[in-house]
Amino acid sequence: MKSRQKFYHGTWILTGASLVVKILSAIYRVPLQNIVGDHGYFVYQQVYPFYGLCSAVALVGLPMFVSQIIAEDPTHRQANFIRLQQLAAGLGFLGALSLWFLAPSLARMMGDFRLTPLVQVLAGFYLVAPVLAVGRGNFQGQLQMAPSAVSQVVEQLIRVGVILLAAFFFQKENWNWYQMGLGAHSGALFGAVGALIILFCWPHQANLTPLVNSSAWPVKTLIQRFWTSGFLLSLYGCLLVLFQLVDSVTVFKLLCQAAWTNPAVLKGIFDRGQPLAQLVLVVAVSFGTAVLPELVVLKNSARQELAAAVIHISLFLATAAALGLAALMPAINTLLFRTATASGPLSLYVLAVIFITLATIMNTIMNAEQQKQNWAPLLIALLVKIGANYLLIPSYGLWGVSGATFLASLVLAALIYRRAKLKLKQVLRLPSFLLRLSLVGASLFFGEVAFQFLGLQLGPLTRVLALGEVFLGVLGGVFLVLFLSWRWHLLTAAEWELIPIGSWLLGKMKEEQNALR
């Protein structure tokens, strides 16, 4: 019982750290864009997916895989740890070498050869990240979550600090956009080294006392297990980054070929939506996945109930946050990025997160229940994204980019739903939940749109006016969603209690209901 309590306590520690890391990873883009402008932001964002993919594997998939190996076979713990470190070092070396020599070709694919050094500087991160991930997984495998959590936060703080320092030099020392991008992306290596030092110096390091006649798992077995579990989970955990990678190698070139004005600036404007969409995913996915480890130990009926709760909560949070952002996008765009340009395409882009959330949560549940591996839906969705980009962008510009992401996300969610077992499908077949969720979402969206329309009667949308609109809009939107969700019984009492401060809200609502009687 104590070990189980320690496990859940550690799970929430990691979830909290992950939440902080993702928020930091989103909010720094606002001052970055404000300082370097849309063109400079375009230069930075073009290369970001190469960091994001490696970071996702190093933060999620690889530590999770290592922790499973360490926990499952304590007798051969030291031998397995050494073998994993060797494999990680080899993987890091091959990844860094490949990225360095492929950088010119990747830059040409993105339509700007000057991006070559920005890709190459990430080779250092590729070298260190796998070794760092194995260190985190080793601690997690022995239920020591604090080292991993602290190292994640420290890594992100250092990285964000270096990025903002590069933006400062761009402004004060007249760096060009590519010098700024080179300095900003070097922060990935500095952050990883800082995290590695944290793990190495942690005062309660894991006990790896040599054991007699201990032998590690075969390399082939380790690779197969990682490929079928940790790696796929990592890719589903960075779906936005995968779609962004497709955009990096297609959008700028397609806009140039179609003779759109200032294609680099247009791409930079579209990239404003990435941190907003990421924040929605943080809200929707983090709280849901935190309770998913319970699925492994629960019996059938209890497991089905928890799976339903996780899907309902995640969809509820994603729908409310995405629709609220979409409706308030002109004001949010002005407040954060100085202009309301392309608010329509950005609103459509944010709405895609609803389907990305559903796909991510359902895939995670299916993985926990050892259902089908969802490689095919992911590959099909990426092909849909690529094809839709080529079909839509030349004629529709940024609307085409957003439309392609929305369509690919919808296809992905539909394909995963189709592959799920009947019991998991039944969670979404409850007409009352989807109907009530749709009504709550529609009420929020049209209420926020009406509020924005009234705000425009006060005069042109400035940052000061946008601040008031966003503050009052978010406050009113949260109240409206909570009130309607409670009145229309969108979530059960048990589901409310799974949400942080949900129990408190439930108590307050019951008190008000009793007071009105």
Structural domain including 177 reads 1-202+221-236
Rounded distance between C-alpha atoms, residue 279 and residue 318, angstroms:
10
Of the segments 13-27, 199-213, 261-275, 447-461, which one has the largest average pLDDT value?
A: 261-275
The whole-number pLDDT of residue 1 equals: 46
Tell me the pTM: 0.89
Residue of 230 and 325 predicted with greater confidence: 325
pLDDT of res. 212: 45
Mean pLDDT for the chain?
A: 86
* Per-residue pLDDT tens digits for 391-403: 999 999 999 999 9
**Residue 412 domain-assigned (yes or no):** yes
367 and 229 within one domain: no
Q: Is residue 213 part of a domain?
A: no
The pLDDT of residue 207 is 47
Q: Which of 4-13, 231-240, 428-437, 497-506 has the highest mean pLDDT?
A: 231-240
Do 438 and 444 meet the contact criterion of CB atoms below 8 Å apart? Answer: no
| Same-domain check for residues 186 and 273 | no
In a domain? residue 398 = yes
Q: Is the pLDDT of residue 41 over 80?
A: yes
Of the candidates 274, 307, 316, the one whose C-alpha atom is nearest the C-alpha of residue 289 is 307
Is it the case that residue 481 has pLDDT exceeding 90? yes
Residue 208 in any domain: the answer is no
Same domain, 41 and 177: yes
Q: Give the pLDDT band (50/70/90) at residue 299.
A: low
Q: Please, which residues have CB within 8 angstroms of residue 393's CB and are 6 or more apart in sequence?
A: 250, 251, 254, 255, 258, 400, 401, 404
Under 8 Å between Cβ of 91 and 165: no
Tell me whether residue 210 is in a domain: no
Do 273 and 293 share a domain, yes or no? yes
Is residue 357 predicted with pLDDT exceeding 60? yes
pLDDT computed for residue 206 by the predictor = 45
Q: 423 and 284, same structural domain? A: yes
Comparison of pLDDT for 243 and 172, the residue scoring more: 243
Q: What is the pLDDT of residue 6?
A: 54
226 and 270 housed in the same domain: no
- Asked whether the predicted pLDDT for residue 343 surpasses 90, the reply is yes
Is the domain of 186 the same as that of 266?
Answer: no
Share of the chain above pLDDT 70, in %: 87
* Whether residue 29 sits in one domain with residue 135: yes
Would you say residue 211 has pLDDT above 50? no
Q: Which two tokens stand for residue 62?
A: 């690889």
Which pLDDT score is estimated for 424? 80
Distance CA 489, CA 337 (A): 38
What is the predicted pLDDT for the residue at 164? 95
- Of 234-248, 251-265, 455-469, which gets the smallest average pLDDT? 455-469
How many CB atoms sit inside 10 A of residue 163's CB? 24
User: 404 and 430 share a domain?
Assistant: yes
The pLDDT of residue 311 is above 80: yes
Most confidently predicted of 75-84, 139-148, 341-350: 341-350
Question: Is the CB of residue 200 less than 8 Å from the CB of residue 217?
Answer: no
Q: What is the mean pLDDT of residues 418-440?
A: 83
Looking at the structure of the chain, the number of domains it has is 2
| Same structural domain, 403 and 342 | yes
For residues 506-514, give the mean pLDDT.
64
- Residues 32 and 204: their CA atoms lie apart, in Å, by 37
Question: What's the rounded mean pLDDT across residues 266-271?
Answer: 95
Specify the pLDDT at position 294.
63
For residue 290, being part of any structural domain is answered with yes
Encode pLDDT of 69-108 as tens digits: 877 777 777 788 888 888 899 999 999 999 999 999 999 9
The answer to the question of residue 211 being in a domain is no
For residue 304, pLDDT over 90 is answered with no
Tell the burial category of 309 from Cβ atoms under 10 Å away from its Cβ (0-12, 13-18, 19+).
buried
One domain, residues 79 and 183: yes
| Mean pLDDT score, 303-327 | 89
Asked if residue 513 has pLDDT above 90, the reply is no
Give the pLDDT confidence score for residue 19 in this predicted structure.
77
Would the pLDDT of 422 be above 90?
Answer: no
Give the Cβ contact number of residue 306 at 10 Å: 19
Same domain, 385 and 456: yes
Task: Give the mean model confidence (pLDDT) for residues 109-129.
Answer: 95
Q: Where are the beta strands (DSSP E) in 431-484?
A: none
Q: pLDDT at position 132, please?
A: 92
Find the mean pLDDT for residues 422-428: 79
* 517 part of a folded domain: no
Q: Which region among 13-17, 152-156, 250-254 has the lowest average model confidence (pLDDT)? A: 13-17
- Is the separation of the CB atoms in 350 and 328 below 8 Å? no
Which token pair is 146? Answer: 């604090």
pLDDT above 60 (res 213): no
Q: Which two tokens stand for residue 57?
A: 């594997």
**pLDDT in the model for residue 35:** 94
Task: Look at residue 64 and tell me whether its pLDDT is greater than 80.
Answer: no
